[in-house]
Amino acid sequence: MTDAVIEARGVSKSFGTTRALEGVDLVVERGTVLGLLGPNGAGKTTLVRILTTLLAPDAGTARVAGHDVVREAPRVRAAIGLAGQFAAVDDLLTGRENLELVGLLYHLPKAERKRRAGEVLERLGLTDAGDRLARTYSGGMRRRLDLGASLVGRPSVLILDEPTTGLDPATRVDLWGFIEDLVASGMTLLLTTQYLEEADRLANRIVVIDHGRTIAEGTASELKDQLGGDLLEVTVADPAALDRAVELVAGLAHGSPTVDRVKRLVSAPATGKAAAVVAAASRFQAEGIDLEEISLRRPSLDDVFLALTGHGAEDVAAGSGERTASAGGAPARRARRAS
């Protein structure tokens, strides 16, 4: 029997003439993590705002923790925890006071508020900093405190909107650890992200949205399988040989190659494992084309994203049509969310 904790059906929302969401369906089962993946402006935040009762949909319905987000909004609010894109932290309160304020607004008795604030600080490794004003916190600590605030109400459903955007790589990995602990304790989680790596690591299932529509859904490995096998990648030494390389790769692979002219890189889906590499290497050698690198690898979510949307996940953010980030590229180089 299915046990959907979040269930959206045909959710649409427009802002003026901009159609932010066009009939999105989404199901998150109890105790699982759904990664909602999409570039900036895909509609991720709009969907989160609808699911957290901050925005009413124009069409469609959504239920969270068994309650309709429009008709039973107060019940939904009582059941969820939300950490938005900003670290919504009061700078002029201490970490502990921030958490106790949230507890007060959940109408918890004083002893309970204090207990939970202490627990949350402990859980997020902020106990030592708990009595310092939040304005003295680093970016990572603020995000942790923000995540902590969403836990004070002991929600059964946690919704995190781009929880690590703008953090440095080390801090991001820390935060992932905290999120994984929460999931291990049985929490249902909806996580939006533009980092494929993050979805790959944290999510059981992934929904890819672009221009307000769901364009793919499945586990990370199901999505990767959609590309049809492994990726053969060839980097030529001489840019002049690039066109010939494309022809050669096209002959060896079973899908059409993509080209990155800056990196002199040709890639295409291929079957045959190592034999494909050997075959390709000997063809290039026979033609007298020098290779800088040749490899066969499992597609990353980046590749999936590129294939699905025709653009890389970060390209939209970076405002460039060219594919710039390589698979699993350094997150630090990735474009920060435009505010």
Partner 1 sequence: MTTIAGERVGAARVARGPLRRFRWGVSDTLTVVQRNLLAYLRIPEALFFSSVQPIMFVLLFRYVFGGAIHVPGVSYVNYLIPGIFVQTVAFGAVSTSIGLAEDLQKGLIERFRALPMARSAVLTGRTVADLARNVVVVLIITAVGYAVGFRIQTNVAAFVAGLLLLLLFAYALSWGFAVIGLSAPNSETAQVMSFPVLFPLTFASSAFVPVASMPSWLRGFAEHQPVSVVVDAARALMLGGPTASYVWQSVAWSVGIVVVLAPLAVRRYRRA
Give residues in contact with partner 1 (CB under 8 A).
1, 3-5, 30, 52-54, 65-67, 74-75, 77-80, 82, 84-93, 97, 101-102, 104-107, 133, 149, 153-156
Is residue 188 within 8 A of residue 205, CB to CB? The reply is: no
Nearer to partner 1, 4 or 259 (CB): 4
Shortest Å, Cβ 290 to partner 1? 53
SS3 7: strand
Shortest Å, Cβ 64 to partner 1? 8
Nearer to partner 1, 27 or 294 (CB): 27
Nearer to partner 1, 154 or 273 (CB): 154
Nearer to partner 1, 30 or 244 (CB): 30
Shortest Å, Cβ 294 to partner 1? 48
Shortest Å, Cβ 335 to partner 1? 21
Is residue 62 within 8 A of residue 338, CB to CB? The reply is: no
- Count CB neighbours of 220 within 10 A: 20
Nearer to partner 1, 157 or 203 (CB): 157
Shortest Å, Cβ 4 to partner 1? 7
SS3 182: helix
Shortest Å, Cβ 7 to partner 1? 9
Quote the longest CA-to-CA distance of the chain: 79
Four-residue CA torsion sign, 82, 222, 61, 56: positive
Amino acid found at 221: S
CA distances from 23 to 3, 177, 185, 194, 216 (A): 22, 33, 32, 21, 14
Amino acid found at 20: A
Shortest Å, Cβ 10 to partner 1? 20
Nearer to partner 1, 161 or 315 (CB): 161
Amino acid found at 177: G
Nearer to partner 1, 156 or 204 (CB): 156
H helical segments located in 152-212 = 169-184, 196-202
Is residue 228 within 8 A of residue 254, CB to CB? The reply is: yes
